[in-house]
Amino acid sequence: MARIVEFNEFDQFSMMKETWNNVLNKTKDRTIFLTWEWLSTWWKHFGKRKNLVLLLVEEKDRVIAIACLMYSNYKLLAFKLRKMKFVGTGISDYHDFLLTRKKTKCLKLLMNYLENYPLRWDCLELSGIPETSESLLLLHQMPKNFGLKWKVSDVCPHIPLPSSFDVFIKGLSRNMRYNLRRRKKKLESQYKVDFKKYSDVDSTKEAMYTFFKLHRKRWELKSPSGALVARGVNRDFHLDVAKSFAENGWLNLSFLTINDEPIASLYSFEYGQKLYQYLTAFDPEYSTYGPGNLLISYLIQDCIRNGIREFDFMRGAESYKYAWNAVNRRIIEVSHVRKGLVPSVYSRAKTGALARAGVFFARKLKIV
C-alpha cells in the first residue's frame, strides 16, 4: 500500500540527491527546475522563514512520487495569509509533481494529504505547470470538492530545432535573415568576433562574474537601481547553481566577444536535450550591432550541432523571441483559495490591476 512520508528539514533534503534524481529520471515531464541540484540550492538561499513540506509517496520502500512544497506566512494589510506553494516559486520557470507510476493514485493521495495538512493554509498556489504536463491532466480529474481553479499565468516561447542550421535559418523571415547578415558583417569588419562557452568547473566563477558585469551594464542604463541586479543573495545563488550545473554538464554560459572582450552573454542550462535560456546580458554600447540576436544565432547553431532538440526562451512574451519563429507553451497556475475574509480579499486583489503590475515588475527584476 502506498503511503506518504514527509520531510521538513533541509538536512533530510540535502541527503536525497540520489533518490531524487532517480525518481526524476523516470518522470515524463522533467525539467532542469525539478532537479535536486536546483531545488536544494534554492532552499539553501531562500528557504528562511518558510516551512519545507517535502512529500514522498512510497510503495514497498520505493519512492514513486514526490511533491516539493513550502508553507509560508505573508502579510496582507494587518492580517496573516498562509500559502502552500512549490519550492522555487518566483525564479523557477517550470514546476510540477514528480510522478513515476500509479500516477492518478499518487496525485490523489498527495492532494488529500494537503487538503488535511496540520498547518492550515489559506491558499494553495501550484504555479508554473506547463500545459503539456501529465499531472495537469490528472489534476483536471480531481473531484470537484477540491475546489481547484486553473488560469494561464504566463507563456514560454520555444523553438523546436531541426537537424540542420541551414534549414533553421531558411525558416526565418527575410527581414530577420537580412538583419543577422548585415549586423554580423558590420561587426566582423571592425572587430575580431568570436563565440565562446565557459562550462568547465575551473572557469565557471570567473565567467559568472563577467556575466554579472554585463547584466549590470544593461540594467544601469534602464534605471538607477539596476546596479542591484548582480548583488546580494541572488548572485550567490546563481554562483552555486552554475558550479553545480557545470559539474553535471548542464551549464551553458556563452559569450559573444570582440577582440577577446565579451559584449553579450546568455546564461542558459542544458538538460534532457533542451536548452533553457535563463537570463541575457549585453553591453548597451554595442546595441546597434544587435549583439543579443547574433549570440542567439551562434548558440542555436551550436545547439543543433550538439543534438539539442529544443531552444526554450523561458517565461515572457518579449517580441524578439517571436522573430526566431518561437511558439508559445502556456504556463498554468492551479489554485484553491479557502473561505474566509483574508483569503477572499487576497483573491480579489490578485486579479486586480495592482496585482498584474506587481507580477510585471517582479518578472523584470528576476535576478534581484
Residue range 106-136, pLDDT digits in tens: 999 999 999 999 999 999 999 999 999 999 9
Tens of pLDDT along 142-165?
887 678 999 999 999 999 999 999
- Residue 357, pLDDT > 50, answer no
pLDDT above 50: residue 214: yes
Which residues, including other chains, have CB under 8 Å from residue 67's CB and lie 6 or more apart?
Answer: 53, 54, 55, 97, 98, 110, 114
Domains, in order of start, for the chain: 3-148 (3.40.630.30), 162-308 (3.40.630.30)
Q: What is the pLDDT of residues 4-27, one digit of tens each?
A: 999 999 999 999 999 999 999 999
C-alpha cell, 210: 563577467
Tell me what percent of the residues of the chain surpass a pLDDT of 90: 79
Does 364 have pLDDT greater than 70?
no
> What type of residue sits at position 184?
K
Burial 321-343 (b: 16+ CB within 10 A, else e): bebbebebbebbbbbbbbeeebb
